[in-house]
Every structure is written in C-alpha cells, then in structure tokens.
Amino acid sequence: MRKMMALNKYSLILTMLCCLMAISTSQVINTKVFDRFTHYDIDDWITYAPATHITSIDVGEDYVYFGTISGGILRYHIYDKEWDYPYTTSNGLRSNHIRQVVYSYTNNGPKNWQSHVIYALTDKGIDIYNPAYDYWQPAFVDQMPPHRQPDAYDVADYRKRPNFRFPNYYRPVNSELPDFFAERKYMFRPPDEILDEENRIFQFTHTRVVDFFRRLWIGTNGLGVASSNAGDLTLNIHQQSITNIAPRDSYYDADENTLWIGGHSLNRVPDGVIRWNMDKNSWHKYEAPFYTGLYNNEVNVITGNERFIFFGTEYGLTRYSKKNGGWRTFTRGEQLESDLILDLQWLGNRLFIATDEGFNWMEPPYKYVVCPRDRQLGITPVYRMAAADSVLFLATRNGVYKFNPETEQFSFFQTRSAVLDVGISTMNISKEGEIWIAGKYGVMYYSPAEDKWESFANIGHYIYGRIHDIHFTKGHVWFATDDGLLKYVKRKNHWYLYTTEDGLPTNQVFRIDSDGKDLWLSTSGGLTIFRWKKKGRIE
C-alpha cells in the first residue's frame, strides 16, 4: 500500500511537472540567437523612412547615393534611370542619420580604405558596404575616404568656357549655378532657394555633384533630391520617400496600383498623407490645410473601396474621391460619436467607424454618418473591430461586444479563457473563423470548429507594451506590438519576436498588411517590407 501511495505521489508530481513544462514551452517567445547576415539577405527587410533632407551625395559605378538625415541612403540607378530601395538600418546600417556618404574608388592612403565600396558616416560611426559580401558592417577606420575628384584638365577647360556643362564629379558652389527653370509646382529663386506650391521656402544643402552623364544632383533641406540636365537647365524635384511622419497604417489600392500611407507628424515639414504610385514609382504628398476638406494629417487607419479612400484621423473621418480627387471630412457635426477615429472596418458595403466614444457607420453613397440606436457603447472607446459573416465584433476596454447590423443591437461576447477579457486592445478573425483577442493580460483565441478556447497568458511576461494589431497568413498569426513583430506558428506551437536585431527600424509596430508573400509593417520608424517567407529559414 505504501509503495502504491508512493507511486501515486510520484506520478502526481511527474504529471504536474509535465503540465508546467507544457505551459512554459508553449508560451516561450524566442528571439534572435543567430548571426543576422548569415540568416537574412540584404533585401529581406526594406524600410522607407523620411528622407526629405539630403546631407550628402556621391556617384558610384552604377548608382548615385544620397545620404539623408533620417531615411538612410537613397539610391538612383544611373543606367536604368530608376530609384532602387534605400539602404537603412533594416539592411545593416547602424543609424539612418547619414552625415556623409562616399563611394571609394581607391585603396591608397594611410587609413586602409577599400576600393569600390560604400562608406557611410553615421551618428553612430562609420559603416561600410562591400558588394562582394552584400551586407553592411562597421568600418574599422576613424576617417572617411575623400570624394572622387574631377579630371584637372576638364576643370581647367570648364573654367575657360563656363557654360554650366560641369565636368564629371564636379561639385559647383552656389555662385556657379545657373538660373534654373523649375518644374511645375515649384519656383527657383537664385542662388539656392526653392518655393513649393504652398509658397514655403526650402533651400539647397551644401551637397551636390555631377555624374558621368553630366547630370547635376543637388540636395535640399526638405524636398528631397533635385536634379538638372545641362542641356535644358530644368530643375526637377525627386521625392522618393514618405514625408516626415511615423506611419500608422497603409492601404493598397489595387485598382490604381497605389499605396496610401498615413501616420503621425514628426513635427518637421513636409508631413502629411503619402500616395505612392507604384507604376511610376512616384510619391505625392497631401498636407492639411493645403487641400480643401482635408482637416488633419494625423492618420490612425486607412481603408477604401472602388470609389473612395477613407482616413481615420485625430480629427474626424476623411474621404478622398478617386474620381475627382476631392476631399471631405466628417466630424461630430455630422453625427460622429467622436472626432478621434481608432479603426475602420467593412461589413458588406457598410463602413463601420470606431472612435474613442463609441462607433458609427456609413452606407452607400457614403455621404452621411449613421448613429446606432442602441447606446450601450455611447461613451466607450472601441479600439478595434472585426467582421464575421453578418456580425461585427468590437474590442473595448470592457471586453468584446457583438453588434448585429440587422437589429442594431449589442450583446456581450462571453469568453471562456484564462486571459482576462478586460483591457482588450485588438482582435481579428481568421478565414477559418477563429477569433483572436489580445490585450494587456495576454492572448486568447476561440476555435468554433472545436468549440475550444486557448489561452496564452504568459505572453505578458515578454510583451510589456500594447498589442496594436493581429494579422493572419497561412499557418501563422502575427501581432503588431510596442516591443516588436510577434509571430505564432500554430503547427509547431512556436512563438518568435522580431525586433531591430532582425531588421525592424524600431520595435513599435502599429499595423500589419500582406500581399501574399511579403508583410508590410507600419512602424514608428517607417514603412517596412519584410520578406519573411524564405525556405530553410529557422527561427
């Protein structure tokens, strides 16, 4: 009997240990333990950060390189005549603040400079990119190599006959510049000022260089890159980045192959909403109050349909007409519960609007805001919404509610989870109908097929900040958090947290979108493309 009792006691202890091990292993969040540059290719992470202020320019063998104050290094392919993705911290630079960029043509000199590589002086030191290795690393030098100088004979010939046909690699000063003909929307005012369409004054920075096609490249202090051909002296402005915003959301309009990007201002001009035409690789900005009907640049969420693009802002719901390019903003005066818009969600042809004091919706032709008759959530912040079949789910600080659009009635969604259903910050519903909910007490989900709740309370020990968004790809659940991009692999019951160590520009991720193979991440440090789906990669 004593032996039987001892065995039972031992079995009970063993069972408890196994349960504890199962709980701990199922909720351990793994982070980077590998060498980044043997694990990721250089273009697995691509970030578009604000690059409106140009600090340095140099000409390489195939590219012109532009150092920026916060957007890394822009690159223009000289022969293909198109802009390539920029180099940023996502590609290995230690900082996106580039003070000087030099393409080194020589390995002569006292500093052991390498030839045919790129040197970048950042606010965290000198980095080097060697095309042979295809990654950035710290350069063990304490001084930058010199810029390539123009041929002395060409300079002497130019000075005999000054005609604005500067020699290759020449860096003219302001007094040598012509009276440029600025392209439409801009006006050039000699010797170094540009007025934009809002009559704001920008200036040339002290960096400029001539490439080997005799094209002059000039930096500006807010408009990006300027260029001019000696043949016609037209001054062209190249905006090749987001404006000075921390992106909060992006929306891809497949009808026009454009990407809309909105966020919160970094208190530098220009800021505002960005429209990226992917066919032409051109970027256009929209700033309040320079567009009638656009009241506010502080965008939290973007969505759209075949007629309109909708922006949830800090001051109302803004609608952009794809047909005529007009803007209109709806506020409390048009029956919005609040001007602070937190989320937008489609259910059929209805657009539901979550605010910090309840929610509304719009119906075709999207000219009026509708208020719910049921006032249960009249003063309750609605952080996120999700749609399933004909029911809308709303994540609030008091838990999750269901809304039936036909009856216009609310009901509380009772969870059977070990995770508290207060303090909810986001939720989403997968194609399989699984309801995923996250908040400050962890993550939970409900599987209707199995009628089962699963709880991940231990997530709170790893993710200290807010969980902003949930997104699904096949077999994976993704979470946008203040501490990085969190991934859950269902088949393996495996968690992994991507951070700046992997390639994020910052750890604060607000929204996640996907295009089938890549993730598009709206982060406080820029818009990041993550090519996560690589065979053989193990995390």
Report pLDDT for 24.
39
Identify the top-confidence range among 370-374, 398-402, 502-506. Answer: 502-506
Whether the per-residue pLDDT at 378 is higher than 90: the answer is no
- For residues 319 and 308, is the Cβ–Cβ distance under 8 A? yes
Report pLDDT for 26.
56
Report pLDDT for 439.
93
Whether the per-residue pLDDT at 1 is higher than 60: the answer is no
- Residue 170: CB partners within 8 Å, gap ≥ 6? 150, 154, 155, 158, 209, 210
Whether the per-residue pLDDT at 454 is higher than 90: the answer is yes
- Residue 44: CB partners within 8 Å, gap ≥ 6? 503, 530, 531, 532, 534
Average of pLDDT values for 454-464?
Answer: 91
- For residues 434 and 446, is the Cβ–Cβ distance under 8 A? yes
Structure tokens at 232: 């016609």
Report pLDDT for 110.
65
Average of pLDDT values for 481-491?
Answer: 96
Report pLDDT for 535.
80
Give 123's pLDDT tier (boundaries 50, 70, 90): very high
Phi then psi dihedrals of residue 181, to 5 deg:
-95, 110
Structure tokens at 23: 């709980």
- pLDDT tens, 80-120? 999 999 999 999 999 999 999 999 997 776 678 888 999 99
- pLDDT tens, 288-303? 989 999 999 999 999 9
Identify the top-confidence range among 24-38, 372-386, 514-528. Answer: 514-528
At 91, which amino acid appears? N
Which residue matches tokens 């640049």?
Answer: 297
Partners of residue 201 on adjacent β-strands: 195
At 535, which amino acid appears? K
Tally the C-alpha atoms within 13 A of residue 106's C-alpha that lie toward its C-beta: 10
> Strands across the sheet with 519-523, in order?
45-48, 526-530, 519-523, 509-514
- For residues 300 and 319, is the Cβ–Cβ distance under 8 A? no
Average of pLDDT values for 314-333?
Answer: 97
What is the average pLDDT value for the chain, to the nearest integer? 91
- For residues 293 and 309, is the Cβ–Cβ distance under 8 A? no
DSSP-assigned letters across all residues of 231-276: TT-EEEEE--S--SEEEEEEEEETTTTEEEEEEEE-SSSS-SEEEE
Whether the per-residue pLDDT at 462 is higher than 70: the answer is yes
Whether the per-residue pLDDT at 481 is higher than 90: the answer is yes
Average of pLDDT values for 348-366?
Answer: 96
Percentage of residues of the chain with pLDDT beyond 70:
94
- pLDDT tens, 394-426? 999 889 999 999 988 999 998 888 888 888 999
- For residues 146 and 156, is the Cβ–Cβ distance under 8 A? no
Number of other CB atoms surrounding residue 339 within 10 Å: 20
Report pLDDT for 334.
94
Pairing, β 494-498 against β 424-429? unpaired
Q: Which of 155-159, 250-254, 415-419, 460-464 bottoms out in mean pLDDT, i.e. has the lowest?
A: 415-419
CA separation, residue 364 to residues 192, 306, 352, 405 (Å): 50, 12, 12, 15
Structure tokens at 317: 């719901």
Phi then psi dihedrals of residue 6, to 5 deg:
-65, -40
Average of pLDDT values for 168-175?
Answer: 95
- Residue 516: CB partners within 8 Å, gap ≥ 6? none
Q: Taking Cα atoms as reference points, which of 474, 475, 439 lies closest to residue 457?
A: 439
Report pLDDT for 121.
98
Report pLDDT for 423.
86
Which residue matches tokens 């009970």?
Answer: 12
Structure tokens at 30: 């793994």
The helix/strand/coil state of 104 is strand
Higher-pLDDT residue of 436, 26: 436
Domains in the chain: boundaries: 44-241
Pairing, β 258-265 against β 245-253? antiparallel
Average of pLDDT values for 314-338?
Answer: 97
Report pLDDT for 158.
87
Percentage of residues of the chain with pLDDT beyond 90:
78
- pLDDT tens, 510-531? 999 999 889 999 999 999 999 9
Report pLDDT for 508.
98
Give 63's pLDDT tier (boundaries 50, 70, 90): very high
- For residues 513 and 519, is the Cβ–Cβ distance under 8 A? yes
Higher-pLDDT residue of 379, 332: 332
Q: Measured between alpha carbons, how far is 417 from 43 in angstroms, rounded to an integer? A: 40
With the C-alpha atoms ordered 498, 503, 506, 512, is the resulting torsion angle positive or negative? negative
Average of pLDDT values for 131-151?
Answer: 92
Q: Measured between alpha carbons, how far is 236 from 238 in angstroms, rounded to an integer? A: 7
Report pLDDT for 17.
38
Report pLDDT for 9.
44
Report pLDDT for 19.
39
Give 366's pLDDT tier (boundaries 50, 70, 90): very high
Number of other CB atoms surrounding residue 145 within 10 Å: 23
Q: Is 168 exposed, middle or buried (0-12, 13-18, 19+ CB in 10 A)?
A: middle
Number of other CB atoms surrounding residue 22 within 10 Å: 11
Report pLDDT for 521.
98
Q: E strands of 322-408, at which residues?
A: 327-330, 341-347, 350-355, 358-362, 382-388, 391-396, 399-404
Whether the per-residue pLDDT at 8 is higher than 70: the answer is no
Residue 147 is classified by DSSP as: P
- For residues 304 and 292, is the Cβ–Cβ distance under 8 A? no
Whether the per-residue pLDDT at 18 is higher than 90: the answer is no
- Residue 284: CB partners within 8 Å, gap ≥ 6? 239, 274, 275, 277
Q: Measured between alpha carbons, how far is 464 from 458 in angstroms, rounded to an integer? A: 11
Report pLDDT for 2.
40
Largest CA distance in the chain: 112
